[in-house]
Amino acid sequence: MTDQAQQAHPRQRRRGEELETAILDAAWQELVDVGFAKLTMESIAARAKTGVAVLYRRWPNKDDLVLAAIRHYGTTHPVEIPDTGNLRDDMIAILNTSIAARVGFATVVSATFSGLLTSAGLTPAEVREKVLTPGSSWSEGIYARAQERGEINLATTPAAVLTMPFDLMRHELLMTHKPIPAERIAEIVDDLFMPLVRLNRAP
């Protein structure tokens, strides 16, 4: 880094979690502002006001740091899990809430896919697997409550049915980068999801 750059971005003395959070926040903001292709370890270090060597001690390359930044953003910006009292309305609410909160996130992540595919050979599915953290599924609490109310049988309902509403939502977000209309969400839940839940519920 040049002397001029160092003067423009004076380094700050931080350690541990505080420093790591600053780096991950800076990496995410760089991803938003310039995109994966133009993002560099040097630009992240400058934004985080730290040295490039500090980054390399934690992440061996740009790909790993970007994946960590995406995971960090998702963890620190959780989607509120609704509790309306029934499965159908819970699903409508979570899909509407998650869409409102995740359009920008989905846009940035989808734009990053091609860069990670070229750089690290990762497919979108593999990226998703890497950035998800245990227990981060929006549906876990909703389905657990529905099971207690007798609305769903998690032992007999295929995993593909449980993930379908979110998979369809994610697909439409990635394809359009626009909020999904409320009527489309209702179609996904009422015409596709709930009939399959009832079909797989044991007597």
Range of the domain at 46: 3-72
- What dihedral do alpha carbons 128, 187, 140, 173 form, nearest 10°? 20
Domain boundary among 72, 90, 114: 72
Same domain membership, residue 53 and residue 84 = no
Same domain membership, residue 129 and residue 93 = yes
**What H or E segment, with its residue span, contains residue 198?**
helix 194-199
Domain boundary among 72, 88, 118: 72
3-state secondary structure string across 87-111: HHHHHHHHHHHHHHHHHHHHHHHHH
**Which string of DSSP letters, residue by residue, matches 144-180?**
HHHHHHTS--TTTS-HHHHHHHHHHHHHHHHHH-SPP
CATH number of the domain that 15 lies in?
1.10.10.60
Average pLDDT value for the chain: 83
For residues 71 and 61, give the distance between their C-alpha atoms in angstroms, rounded to a whole number: 16
How close are the terminal C-alpha atoms of the chain, in Å? 68
Q: 153: buried, middle or exposed (CB in 10 Å: 19+, 13-18, 0-12)?
A: middle
Domain count, the chain: 2
What is the mean predicted confidence (pLDDT) over 148-158?
A: 95
What is the mean predicted confidence (pLDDT) over 154-181?
A: 86
* The predicted structure's pLDDT at residue 193: 97
Listed in sequence order, the residues at least 6 apart from 53 whose beta carbon sits closer than 8 Å to its beta carbon are none
Same domain membership, residue 154 and residue 125 = yes
Which residue matches tokens 């596709």? Answer: 192
Same domain membership, residue 85 and residue 63 = no
What is the mean predicted confidence (pLDDT) over 55-79?
A: 88
Lowest mean pLDDT among 7-16, 56-65, 113-122, 166-175: 7-16
